C-alpha cells in the first residue's frame, strides 16, 4: 500500500499532452516564462485521508492535483484569450470524465465532489519573468483506495 504518485502524475501529464493543445506540460510550476502558446503544469495540492471511504484494514485517500493552464497576455487578438483558456479547461474536463480511473491508477476522479471539492477550475493572472499570463487552475481531486494500512 503506497501512493503511486509517479504513475498518477504520468497519467495526468499524458492526458494533457494527448490533447494536442499545450506546447509543454511540466510537473512543476514554471520558473521561467512558459512560452507563447498554451502551457500546462501539474502540481500536488493536497493529500488527505477519507474517513467515510476507508475500511478497517486500509485508509483511502484523496490526492488533489492542480493542473495549471497558462496563456500569455497580451496576445492578438485579445478576444481569443478567454476562449483558448476555457477550451483547455473543457478538454481536460472531458479527458478526466472519460477516463476517471486514470488508467486504473486511482479509484476515481471525484467529478462531483462526493469527498470534498469537485473537479473545478478557477481563473486569474500570474506574472512570470515580467510576462503576464492568464491562468486557469483546474482542481483535480483523485480518490485512491487503501493507501495506508491500519493495524492496532
**Percentage of residues in the chain having pLDDT higher than 70:** 99
- Please provide the average confidence, as pLDDT, over all residues in the chain: 93
Distance CA 96, CA 89 (A): 11
Question: Is-contact 40 26, C-beta < 8 A?
Answer: yes
Indicate the fold that domain 5-146 takes in CATH. Answer: STM4215-like (3.30.2000)
> Is residue 75 scored above 80 in pLDDT?
no
CB count in 10 Å sphere of residue 48: 11
- Distance CA(37)–CA(75), nearest Å, equals 9
State the Cα–Cα distance between residues 127 and 112, nearest whole angstrom: 31
- In this predicted structure, the answer to whether residue 152 has a pLDDT above a threshold of 90 is no
Please say whether the beta carbons of 93 and 112 come within 8 A: no
| Residues above pLDDT 90, as percent of the chain | 77
> 25-36: per-residue pLDDT in tens?
999 999 999 888
Residue 47 has pLDDT above 90, yes or no: yes
- 120's CB contacts (< 8 A; 6+ apart) are 138, 139
How far is the C-alpha of 124 from the C-alpha of 128, rounded, in Å? Answer: 13
Domain range list for the chain: 5-146
DSSP code for 144 = E
Indicate if the pLDDT at residue 46 is higher than 90: yes
pLDDT tens-digit series, residues 92-116: 999 999 988 988 899 999 999 999 9
Distinct helix (H) and strand (E) counts, the chain: 2, 6
pLDDT reported for residue 83:
94
Cα angle value 105/111/112 (rounded, 5°): 145
pLDDT of residue 103: 85
Cβ distance 146 to 106 under 8 Å? no
Amino acid at each position: 500500500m503506497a501512493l503511486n504518485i509517479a504513475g498518477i502524475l504520468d497519467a495526468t501529464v499524458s492526458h494533457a499532452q494527448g490533447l494536442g493543445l499545450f506546447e509543454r506540460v511540466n510537473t512543476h510550476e514554471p520558473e521561467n516564462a512558459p512560452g507563447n502558446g498554451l502551457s500546462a503544469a501539474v502540481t500536488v495540492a493536497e493529500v488527505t485521508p477519507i474517513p467515510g471511504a476507508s475500511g478497517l484494514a486500509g485508509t483511502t485517500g484523496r490526492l488533489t492535483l492542480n493542473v495549471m493552464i497558462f496563456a500569455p497576455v497580451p496576445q492578438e487578438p485579445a478576444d481569443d484569450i478567454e476562449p483558448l483558456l476555457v477550451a483547455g479547461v473543457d478538454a481536460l474536463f472531458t479527458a478526466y470524465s472519460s477516463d476517471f480511473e486514470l488508467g486504473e491508477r486511482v479509484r476515481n476522479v471525484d467529478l462531483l465532489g462526493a469527498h470534498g471539492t469537485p473537479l473545478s477550475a478557477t481563473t486569474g493572472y500570474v506574472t512570470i519573468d515580467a510576462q503576464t499570463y492568464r491562468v486557469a487552475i483546474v482542481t483535480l481531486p483523485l480518490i485512491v483506495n487503501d493507501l495506508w494500512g491500519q493495524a492496532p
